[in-house]
């Protein structure tokens, strides 16, 4: 996925508050789908749809804990957040530069 498409997918996935909450929970430790559904008060099919969207965005991946390969858990994918971090960094740089230009302009005209 290109960096741009990856950012689109990340922001779109995070536009939903339930999915943001899942990302926060997974930031603490991997969870099973059932645990996530319970924590958010959502039905299993609704949680399944959110997890699918998060997987497609590259933010979340399925993993199997060491103690049992049959158990499926969801975990945060480290690379998934890099597009978001890049966007934040670039946007911050953009506004820092634009506000300096604005300041120079305001103070020049007076």
Tell me how far, at minimum, the Cβ of 41 lies from another protein, in Å.
5
Cα(95)–Cα(75) distance, integer angstroms: 33
Residues of span 88-107 touching another protein by CB under 8 A: 88, 90-107
Tell me how far, at minimum, the Cβ of 28 lies from another protein, in Å.
9
DSSP-assigned letters across all residues of 10-35: HHHHHTSHHHHHHHHHHHHS-B-HHH
Residue 61's beta-bridge partner residues? 75
Binding residue for another protein (CB under 8 A) from 21, 33, 66, 82?
Answer: 21
Cα(57)–Cα(9) distance, integer angstroms: 5
Sort 10 into a burial class: Cβ within 10 Å, 0-12 / 13-18 / 19+: buried
With binding defined as CB under 8 A, does residue 27 bind another protein? yes
CB nearer to another protein: pick between 56 and 71: 56
Which residues are at the interface with another protein (CB under 8 A)?
A: 4, 8-9, 11-12, 14-15, 17-18, 20-21, 23-24, 27, 39-42, 81, 84-85, 87-88, 90-107, 109-110
């Amino acid at each position: 996925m290109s960096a741009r498409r990856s950012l689109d997918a990340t922001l779109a996935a995070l536009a939903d508050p339930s999915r943001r909450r899942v990302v926060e929970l997974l930031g603490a430790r991997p969870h099973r789908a059932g645990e996530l559904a319970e924590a958010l008060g959502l039905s299993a099919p609704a949680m399944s749809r959110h997890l699918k969207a998060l997987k497609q965005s590259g933010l979340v991946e399925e993993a199997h804990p060491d103690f049992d390969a049959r158990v499926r858990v969801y975990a945060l994918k480290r690379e998934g957040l890099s597009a978001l971090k890049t966007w934040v960094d670039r946007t911050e740089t953009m506004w820092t530069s634009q506000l300096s230009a604005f300041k120079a302009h305001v103070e020049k005209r007076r």
